[in-house]
């Protein structure tokens, strides 16, 4: 294909996306985070008949044969759309690219772009097309391509990488089974991987760690500690709450009553899965010490708080029962 043809297609794609941006602006759909604005623009473009490969190729100058786009090309494409929709800081750009970049190679491939649109944009247009592609087997091809790209990147990145610093230590009580687990989070910034390390008091041993891509965690609202640049611990407290609320235990089917930890989607979650395979070059964190003073103190505090809540609940129930009985007694009269 000639350069002139590529250029003409690029201009055509740009015009279509600019029309989509105009529709988004006219429809007052420009609020929200940069990612939310991008999702609205791409959904508007799709609803106007623009194919996903056309949207993708726009970011590399309209070349339909492109295999991947760089962070710089991605930013340039966003800025060309104008309307001040995508004036991003470096941190916002990095976070946005990581939402697409499944294998952490710094590039966005077509398969990664497709996976993001079909699984992470919460709009019926994308969900409907995903269902169609699932039915004809095309989604299997996309997932297989992503696995191949991830494997290629892991083969390239063979140098050991630290799991990072411990960013939070907490615990969770499963009150129905009276099972307590200690939880430590470690963050590896180069791979954007959170290692969720778990120790089960009931099993008296560490459970297999869970690995999460940080960019996939949809932390809503303000950080509990205020400005994260001034209080990074507040940010990680939010990540701990986000992950621990989804953390569940299941009993092994072999009758041993041993547990395995996993993350369960909650209502409103748009991700396909938060967990990722452990990168081959990611080092393990230090083993959890059972009598870790900090985790033990945190657990005792949480257990005491839970006990107080249960006492208040029982007292409220008793008061409600007395009121109901009194009301029933008056009715009998």
Query: DSSP of 23-91, one letter per residue?
Result: HHHHTT---S-HHHHHHHHHHHHHHTT--HHHHHHHTTTT-TT--EEEHHHHHHHHHHT-TTS----HH
Q: What is the pLDDT of residue 36?
A: 84
Q: What does the alpha-carbon distance between residue 324 and residue 322 come to, in Å, rounded to a whole number?
A: 5
DSSP symbol at 278: P
Q: What is the pLDDT of residue 183?
A: 92
Please give the backbone phi and psi of residue 90, each rounded to the nearest 5 degrees, phi first.
-60, -40
CB 190 within 8 A of CB 178: no
Q: What is the pLDDT of residue 94?
A: 86
* Token code pair at residue 133: 């592609």
Per-10-residue mean pLDDT of the chain, 333 residues long, equals: 49 61 51 80 84 83 70 84 73 86 83 88 89 88 80 64 92 84 91 91 84 80 44 75 89 68 81 78 82 59 73 75 72 57
Question: For 307-333, how does the pLDDT look when each residue is reduced to its tens digit (9 = 90+)?
Answer: 777 777 777 777 777 767 776 766 655
Please give the backbone phi and psi of residue 87, each rounded to the nearest 5 degrees, phi first.
-95, 100
Nearest Cα to 207, choosing from 174, 158, 231?
Answer: 174
């Amino acid at each position: 294909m000639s350069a002139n043809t590529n250029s003409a297609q690029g201009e055509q794609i740009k015009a279509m996306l600019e029309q989509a941006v105009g529709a988004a602006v006219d429809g007052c759909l420009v609020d929200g985070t940069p990612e939310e604005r991008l999702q609205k623009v791409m959904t508007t473009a799709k609803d106007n008949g623009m194919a996903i490969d056309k949207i993708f190729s726009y970011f590399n100058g309209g070349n339909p044969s492109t295999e991947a786009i760089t962070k710089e090309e991605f930013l340039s494409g966003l800025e060309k759309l104008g309307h001040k929709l995508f004036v991003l800081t470096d941190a916002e750009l990095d976070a946005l690219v990581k939402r697409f970049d499944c294998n952490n190679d710094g590039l966005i491939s077509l398969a990664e772009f497709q996976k993001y649109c079909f699984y992470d944009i919460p709009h019926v247009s994308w969900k409907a097309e995903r269902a169609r592609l699932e039915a004809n087997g095309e989604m299997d091809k996309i997932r297989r391509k992503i696995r191949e790209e991830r494997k290629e990147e892991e083969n390239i990145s063979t140098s050991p990488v630290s799991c990072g610093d411990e960013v939070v230590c907490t615990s969770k009580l499963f009150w129905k089974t009276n099972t307590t687990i200690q939880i430590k989070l470690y963050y590896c910034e180069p791979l954007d991987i959170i290692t969720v390390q778990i120790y089960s008091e009931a099993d008296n041993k560490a459970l297999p760690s869970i690995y999460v891509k940080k960019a996939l965690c949809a932390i809503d609202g303000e950080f509990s500690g205020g400005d994260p640049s001034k209080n990074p611990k507040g940010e990680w407290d939010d990540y701990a709450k986000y992950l621990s609320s989804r953390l569940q235990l299941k009993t092994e089917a072999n009758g041993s009553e041993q547990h395995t930890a996993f993350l369960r989607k909650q209502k409103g979650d748009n991700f396909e899965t938060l967990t990722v395979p452990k990168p081959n070059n990611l080092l393990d964190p230090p083993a959890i010490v059972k009598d870790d003073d900090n985790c033990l103190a945190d657990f005792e505090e949480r257990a005491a708080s839970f006990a107080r809540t249960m006492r208040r609940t029982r007292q409220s129930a008793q008061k409600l029962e007395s009121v109901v009985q009194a009301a029933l007694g008056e009715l009998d009269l």
